[in-house]
Amino acid sequence: MEGHEDAANALMEERADVNVGTGRRPLHVAADKGMIDMVKQLIRKGAEKDAADKEGCTALTRAWGHEDAAHALMEAGADVNVGTGRRPLHVAAEKGMIQMVKQLIRKGAEKDAEDKEGCTALTWAVRGRHEDVANALMEAGADVNVGTGRRSLHDAAEKGMIEMVK
């Protein structure tokens, strides 16, 4: 899609269905590539903001690393808690995006939701050695004992994160 904006625009002008596809849809790809203008145009053309791809991720989850695309999706009403794979909060925590984590929490992101591996955002923050994010999650009420996969304490101890273990 990147580099092919003219072709995508022409297809949309010819009323191509922006919601067709069993894998990643155009909105997933545009968000993943940080194509903010294309994200906004696809939303205007009726792209389903909360549709999950084959891996259970929504366009909002795919947008991480591209904060403008993530903000555009949230402003358009994308649900921060949709997806059967990793959710936006998991990815933002893993990448150490403290401001995005705080925004997702303000938007109602479920702090203790588990991904397919049974890990929470707190676990991902610790795995990424993002103590500021882990602390923000705990201050917001994330439960340190939630998760059917490997827990945050295990990862903090393994990584030698003494203050986090405490």
Domains with residue ranges and CATH for the chain: 1-84 (1.25.40.20), 86-166 (1.25.40.20)
pLDDT at 84: 73
Residue 2 pLDDT > 80, yes or no?
A: no
Interval 96-110: pLDDT, tens = 999 999 999 999 999
More confident residue, 36 or 160: 36
pLDDT at 141: 95
d(CA 136, CA 139) in angstroms, rounded, equals 5
d(CA 164, CA 1) in angstroms, rounded, equals 42
Which pTM value belongs to this model?
A: 0.77
pLDDT at 155: 62
Are 74 and 68 spatial neighbours (Cβ–Cβ below 8 Å)? Answer: no
